[in-house]
Structure 1
Amino acid sequence: MKVSVVDFFSGCGGTSLGFRNAGMSILAGIDNDPNAAATYRRNFPEAKFFERDIREMSVAEVKKVLPRSGKILFSGCAPCQPFSKQNRGRDDNDPRRSLLTEFERFVVALKPDYVVVENVPGMQKVGMDGPLGRFIAALEAAGYKVECKVLDASHFGVPQRRLRLVLVAALGDAAPMPNPTHGGKRQPLSTVRDWIRDLPQIAAGETHPDDPDHAAMSLSELNYRRMLATPEGGGRESWEEDLLLNCHQGHAGHTDVYGRLAWDRPASAMTTRCLSYSNGRYGHPDQHRAISLREAAILQTFPRDFRFSGTLTSRGRQVGNAVPPLLAQRVAEAILAMPRSRGRRTPLTQRAEVVPA
């Protein structure tokens, strides 16, 4: 079954990569971040790229890239920060909360065969009268059957504890969800050691000469001392009092901050600040530095030859925002495994009339 993909809010291309690895064809990516756009173009030369804000695009522009045969999938992994529990300054008026409605505009007009959305679990807690509930209602009114679940990426081979809300919709068919492959009585969970143990050593602030993405942020003298006092898999519970921050005195919470990863467990979820020792459990298990950009990308399951563009901070943000390619691949494989007898794609010319918006 041939499936062609338009990746809305593509970022650097985690979803596109997973779908391509599963055998889908990547038609186009859409994102307004210039560094993510440069990364995407670099790694997906076969795809058209719209470096645009979706709110400024017309439905007709996307229609032009769609093939006249085969099945079509729209992926819409909108920015998750407005719904994330990590964002303590969440604003109900944040304009990013409307992006799912903008994505809906393209789905309802062009009726792709499949729709995939990935976001943080907190998104569904906004309520059925919130962005997700309204989006699901619009899909169902347009003839889609919808499945929505919170998936743990570690259950699909990703070496990272990462809970994500995944929505799959199929036009007129039951929507498939991937079955877990790891954990419990299945294969053991993938670990940090499985994926990054053989990378060459670098020091804090260094970049490896053979890989410009194997680069680590610098450490202050105080944070270097904290790193020395932190064992593999440990955190500030092992520090002497003079190393503690004032806000940590007598406070038992936020134990992942200033922590090291453990070799034989999955990593903590990679965030947009995954290169910063002070922003999570992102210390290397035994080297005295935070994980490098390459290590973070590998823990997200990007291949080692995937190249990123922009400053180190921007590249880290791209990695943290990405859908793990391996998780996306498992979702795509579930879609591709659907019985072929479930119907053929309606020709584009017979679908809803497209009006520029």
Structure 2
Amino acid sequence: MKYRLIDLFCGCGGMTLGFVHPRFCGAFESVFALDNDAAAIESYRANFGSHAFHGDVEGWASGERAASIPSADIVIGGPPCQGFSLLNKQRRGDARRALWEPYMDIVACSGARVFLIENVQGLLNTPEHEGIRARAEALGFQTSSALLNAADYGAPQTRKRAFIIGWKDSLNDAIIFPPRPSHAASDASGGLPRRRTVRDMIADLPEPEDYDIRDVPPPLDLHFRRKPTATSLRRYKAVPPGGNRFDLQRNAPEITPRCWIRKTSGGTDLFGRLWWDRPSVTIRTEFFKPEKGRYLHPEQHRPITHREAARLMGFPDEFIFKGKKIEVARQIGNAVPPDMAGAVARTIADALAARARKAA
């Protein structure tokens, strides 16, 4: 028997994958999922089944629809992170900051024994964090919060994310949170495997050829490149291994954007190259634009492809993405790395199993 899982704000299903796939955990089955991104829901259905719905969480948190929410052992989800992100200059008053409230309503009506909220690290220092903990306590949950780095759990990416876990009293002696890291930097002690690197994930891929999603088997279906302008290509060539926009300015000031020349500090990842022998930087939704971050290939003169980004997020090649190029990029960048989700999933599964043995 597998534990029943509900995923809210599910996206394409990166966090679900970490819970249900045997490669990551495998102790759970998805019984209900919800997101307001139609393309992401198509991807979720393609990978996990027809029980995923396109809609807003507020519409399912009360009334007749709430009555149709299935029972579950756990509710997981990441309310939209833009409401808490430091990149969102308008985050004060952002309505997305309040979406934890209908999330907790669904936790209550599902009868779940555990819930898990994932978000950007900014969540931990907000009134909303305290609100979540207070609502959880009122529903009979104890809670714990932690900031985790995906690279510490086998994901090939240094992505720091906030997690809030809640559990009913019956699991109090069994929950271990945060989970112990499974990987470490190469110079760390403790006998753990080294963190996975960009080289580990994408070095085997050939140079991309086409500028579109192709109807070919993975991994080449998402392995396409943009057609750069002559100026863009010159800019790529001016950035050495491990370099960034400051190298562009030194090597080719005549084609460096004036706003970058005026900005003499910060932004060290902009127009940067990934390092072969380190985990990737955080993969965001516009990884195909090097002006948005360190997204140039370590050697080739181009941004990383959709396939490379998916691998750097930890998605297996067989995972199915639906939608247009921009829609797929958004799904990849918004996902929770499955390796990170799997680490949390295993500790929750162990707690549920220990409780079952104690009750037997």
TM above 0.5, one fold? yes
What is aligned with 1:317?
330
Q: Which runs of 5+ in 1 are unaligned?
A: 347-357
Judge conservation of contact 1:261–1:283 (CA < 8 Å) in 2.
yes
Structure 2 counterpart SS, 1:15: helix
Alignment of 1:1-357 (within 5 A): 2-21=2-21, 22-23=25-26, 24-45=28-49, 47-59=50-62, 61=65, 64=68, 66=70, 72-87=73-88, 89-126=89-126, 130-172=127-169, 173-174=171-172, 175-177=175-177, 178-183=179-184, 184-185=188-189, 186-203=192-209, 205=211, 210=216, 211-239=220-248, 240=251, 241-250=253-262, 251-338=264-351, 340-342=353-355
Distance 1:82 1:339 in 2: 32
- Measure how far apart 1:62 and its partner are: 5.2
Judge conservation of contact 1:277–1:283 (CA < 8 Å) in 2.
yes
Percentage identity across aligned positions?
A: 33
Residues paired across the two proteins, number: 338
RMSD: 2.2
| Range moving further from structure 2, 32-41 or 233-242 | 233-242
Distance 1:204 1:277 in 2: 19
Distance 2:111 2:193 in 1: 38
**Counterpart residue type for residue 202 of structure 1:** P
Judge conservation of contact 2:84–2:91 (CA < 8 Å) in 1.
no
Distance 2:318 2:122 in 1: 33
Judge conservation of contact 2:82–2:91 (CA < 8 Å) in 1.
no
TM-score (norm 1): 0.89
Note the alpha carbon deviations across 1:20-63, whole angstroms, 9 max, x for none.
Answer: 12121111210011111111111112x50111111112455355
Judge conservation of contact 1:124–1:132 (CA < 8 Å) in 2.
yes
**Counterpart residue type for residue 233 of structure 1:** G
- Measure how far apart 1:308 and its partner are: 1.2
Q: 1:41 to 1:339 in 2, by over 3 A?
A: closer
Note the alpha carbon deviations across 1:90-137, whole angstroms, 9 max, x for none.
Answer: 2322221111111011123333011011100001122xxx22210111
Distance 1:203 1:276 in 2: 18
**Counterpart residue type for residue 76 of structure 1:** G
Structure 2 counterpart SS, 1:149: strand
Judge conservation of contact 1:213–1:308 (CA < 8 Å) in 2.
no
Q: 1:181 to 1:237 in 2, by over 3 A?
A: same
Higher helix proportion (structure 1 or 2): 2
Note the alpha carbon deviations across 1:282-335, whole angstroms, 9 max, x for none.
Answer: 111112111111110111000001121122111111111000111111110011
- Measure how far apart 1:343 and its partner are: 5.7
Judge conservation of contact 1:108–1:139 (CA < 8 Å) in 2.
no
Q: Which runs of 5+ in 2 are unaligned?
A: none
